[in-house]
Amino acid sequence: MTICQLLPFALFLSIAQLAAQSTPDSIPKYVKVPAGYLMVLRQGDNVFTELENLASREQIPSANLTGMGFLNTTFGFFNFKTKEYDPRDFKDVELASMQGSIAWQNGKPSLHCHGVVTGKDFKAYGGHLLKATVSTGSVEIRITVHDKQFQRLMEEPPGANVLNLK
Protein backbone atom coordinates (compact mmCIF):
# COMPACT_ATOMS: atom_id res chain seq x y z
CA MET A 1 0.00 0.00 0.00
CA THR A 2 1.14 3.51 -0.74
CA ILE A 3 1.07 6.40 1.72
CA CYS A 4 -1.89 7.85 -0.18
CA GLN A 5 -3.85 4.65 0.34
CA LEU A 6 -2.99 4.53 4.06
CA LEU A 7 -3.96 8.16 4.82
CA PRO A 8 -7.77 7.65 4.71
CA PHE A 9 -7.44 4.57 6.95
CA ALA A 10 -5.13 6.42 9.38
CA LEU A 11 -7.56 9.36 9.46
CA PHE A 12 -10.46 7.00 10.16
CA LEU A 13 -8.52 5.37 13.04
CA SER A 14 -7.66 8.78 14.54
CA ILE A 15 -11.30 9.92 14.43
CA ALA A 16 -12.48 6.62 15.93
CA GLN A 17 -9.94 6.88 18.76
CA LEU A 18 -11.02 10.45 19.55
CA ALA A 19 -14.67 9.44 19.58
CA ALA A 20 -13.93 6.53 21.93
CA GLN A 21 -12.14 8.73 24.45
CA SER A 22 -14.33 10.22 27.14
CA THR A 23 -13.85 13.86 27.93
CA PRO A 24 -15.17 15.26 31.21
CA ASP A 25 -17.77 17.29 29.29
CA SER A 26 -19.08 14.21 27.49
CA ILE A 27 -19.58 12.12 30.64
CA PRO A 28 -23.12 12.50 31.98
CA LYS A 29 -23.30 13.77 35.56
CA TYR A 30 -26.62 12.07 36.32
CA VAL A 31 -29.02 9.46 35.06
CA LYS A 32 -32.71 8.86 35.79
CA VAL A 33 -33.44 5.76 37.88
CA PRO A 34 -36.82 4.43 39.15
CA ALA A 35 -36.69 6.32 42.47
CA GLY A 36 -35.26 9.53 41.04
CA TYR A 37 -31.67 10.15 39.92
CA LEU A 38 -28.15 8.87 40.43
CA MET A 39 -25.47 11.55 40.18
CA VAL A 40 -21.71 10.98 39.88
CA LEU A 41 -19.52 14.06 40.23
CA ARG A 42 -15.81 14.29 39.53
CA GLN A 43 -12.83 16.30 40.69
CA GLY A 44 -13.53 20.02 40.76
CA ASP A 45 -17.32 19.74 40.54
CA ASN A 46 -19.26 21.92 42.98
CA VAL A 47 -21.75 19.57 44.67
CA PHE A 48 -24.33 22.26 45.45
CA THR A 49 -24.21 23.85 41.99
CA GLU A 50 -24.67 20.46 40.32
CA LEU A 51 -27.61 19.53 42.61
CA GLU A 52 -29.28 22.92 42.04
CA ASN A 53 -28.79 22.58 38.27
CA LEU A 54 -30.33 19.09 38.34
CA ALA A 55 -33.34 20.29 40.37
CA SER A 56 -33.95 23.19 37.97
CA ARG A 57 -33.31 21.28 34.75
CA GLU A 58 -35.46 18.29 35.72
CA GLN A 59 -38.06 20.35 37.64
CA ILE A 60 -37.71 18.17 40.74
CA PRO A 61 -40.62 19.11 43.05
CA SER A 62 -38.70 18.04 46.17
CA ALA A 63 -36.32 15.26 47.12
CA ASN A 64 -34.10 13.66 49.71
CA LEU A 65 -30.52 12.76 48.96
CA THR A 66 -27.67 10.62 50.23
CA GLY A 67 -24.07 10.61 49.13
CA MET A 68 -20.49 9.50 49.63
CA GLY A 69 -17.09 10.20 48.10
CA PHE A 70 -14.16 12.61 48.44
CA LEU A 71 -14.50 16.32 49.22
CA ASN A 72 -13.03 19.63 50.09
CA THR A 73 -15.76 21.03 52.30
CA THR A 74 -16.80 23.66 54.78
CA PHE A 75 -19.03 22.60 57.65
CA GLY A 76 -20.99 25.09 59.70
CA PHE A 77 -22.43 24.90 63.18
CA PHE A 78 -25.46 27.18 63.51
CA ASN A 79 -25.07 29.79 66.25
CA PHE A 80 -28.60 30.61 67.41
CA LYS A 81 -27.45 33.84 69.10
CA THR A 82 -25.86 35.36 65.98
CA LYS A 83 -28.10 33.49 63.48
CA GLU A 84 -24.96 32.64 61.48
CA TYR A 85 -22.89 29.53 60.89
CA ASP A 86 -19.50 29.12 62.57
CA PRO A 87 -17.50 27.59 59.68
CA ARG A 88 -14.65 25.07 59.59
CA ASP A 89 -12.83 23.89 56.44
CA PHE A 90 -11.72 20.32 55.67
CA LYS A 91 -9.49 19.47 52.69
CA ASP A 92 -9.09 16.13 50.90
CA VAL A 93 -11.39 14.18 53.21
CA GLU A 94 -13.57 11.16 52.64
CA LEU A 95 -17.29 11.86 52.71
CA ALA A 96 -18.49 8.92 54.79
CA SER A 97 -22.11 10.05 54.68
CA MET A 98 -24.20 12.92 53.36
CA GLN A 99 -27.93 13.42 53.85
CA GLY A 100 -30.05 16.25 52.67
CA SER A 101 -33.17 17.60 51.07
CA ILE A 102 -34.08 19.62 48.02
CA ALA A 103 -36.97 22.07 48.31
CA TRP A 104 -37.73 25.46 46.75
CA GLN A 105 -37.36 29.00 48.07
CA ASN A 106 -38.10 32.20 46.15
CA GLY A 107 -38.43 30.24 42.90
CA LYS A 108 -35.03 28.55 43.17
CA PRO A 109 -33.86 25.17 44.48
CA SER A 110 -32.96 25.25 48.17
CA LEU A 111 -30.61 22.61 49.56
CA HIS A 112 -30.18 21.54 53.17
CA CYS A 113 -27.35 19.05 53.61
CA HIS A 114 -25.44 17.54 56.51
CA GLY A 115 -22.54 15.16 56.40
CA VAL A 116 -19.73 13.31 58.10
CA VAL A 117 -16.15 13.28 56.80
CA THR A 118 -13.02 11.43 57.88
CA GLY A 119 -9.33 12.03 57.32
CA LYS A 120 -6.33 9.70 57.17
CA ASP A 121 -6.37 9.63 60.98
CA PHE A 122 -9.93 8.14 60.84
CA LYS A 123 -11.29 10.94 63.04
CA ALA A 124 -14.79 11.93 62.03
CA TYR A 125 -16.19 15.45 61.76
CA GLY A 126 -19.63 16.49 60.70
CA GLY A 127 -22.25 19.15 60.53
CA HIS A 128 -24.18 21.37 58.16
CA LEU A 129 -22.51 21.45 54.74
CA LEU A 130 -21.90 25.04 53.65
CA LYS A 131 -19.63 24.25 50.67
CA ALA A 132 -18.59 21.03 48.97
CA THR A 133 -16.30 20.48 46.00
CA VAL A 134 -15.17 17.08 44.77
CA SER A 135 -11.49 16.60 45.60
CA THR A 136 -9.69 13.43 44.51
CA GLY A 137 -11.90 10.66 43.21
CA SER A 138 -15.63 11.22 42.86
CA VAL A 139 -18.86 11.77 44.77
CA GLU A 140 -21.92 9.56 44.24
CA ILE A 141 -25.33 10.95 45.18
CA ARG A 142 -28.73 9.24 45.09
CA ILE A 143 -31.63 11.69 44.76
CA THR A 144 -35.04 10.27 45.77
CA VAL A 145 -37.75 12.42 44.20
CA HIS A 146 -41.08 13.20 45.91
CA ASP A 147 -44.36 13.90 44.15
CA LYS A 148 -45.09 17.16 46.01
CA GLN A 149 -43.25 20.46 45.84
CA PHE A 150 -42.12 21.72 49.22
CA GLN A 151 -40.98 25.22 50.10
CA ARG A 152 -38.31 26.26 52.56
CA LEU A 153 -39.46 29.24 54.64
CA MET A 154 -37.84 31.43 57.26
CA GLU A 155 -39.41 30.71 60.65
CA GLU A 156 -39.19 32.52 63.99
CA PRO A 157 -38.20 30.79 66.18
CA PRO A 158 -35.62 29.36 65.36
CA GLY A 159 -34.60 32.17 62.98
CA ALA A 160 -33.69 29.74 60.23
CA ASN A 161 -35.09 28.35 56.98
CA VAL A 162 -37.34 25.36 57.68
CA LEU A 163 -38.91 22.84 55.30
CA ASN A 164 -42.62 23.63 55.06
CA LEU A 165 -44.87 20.61 54.45
CA LYS A 166 -48.03 22.56 53.48
pLDDT at 12: 44
pLDDT at 49: 98
What residue spans define the domains of the chain?
A: 28-146
Largest CA distance in the chain: 82
8 A C-beta contact, residue 150 and residue 62: yes
Q: Backbone phi, then psi, for 7, in 5-degree steps?
A: -55, -50
Select from 3.30.1330.80, 3.40.50.40, 1.10.630.10, 3.40.50.300 the CATH code of 28-146: 3.30.1330.80
In sequence order, the 6+-apart residues with CB closer than 8 A to the CB of 139 are: 40, 41, 45, 47, 67, 68, 69, 70, 71, 95, 132
| 83 dihedral zone (left: phi>0; alpha: psi -120 to 50; beta) | left
8 A C-beta contact, residue 70 and residue 119: no
pLDDT at 24: 57
Written as tens digits, the pLDDT of the chain (166 aa) is: 554 454 444 434 444 444 444 445 678 999 999 999 999 999 999 999 999 999 999 999 999 999 999 999 999 998 888 888 999 999 999 999 999 999 999 999 999 999 999 999 999 999 999 999 999 999 999 999 999 999 999 888 877 889 998 8
pTM above 0.85, yes or no: no
pLDDT at 17: 46
pLDDT at 21: 41
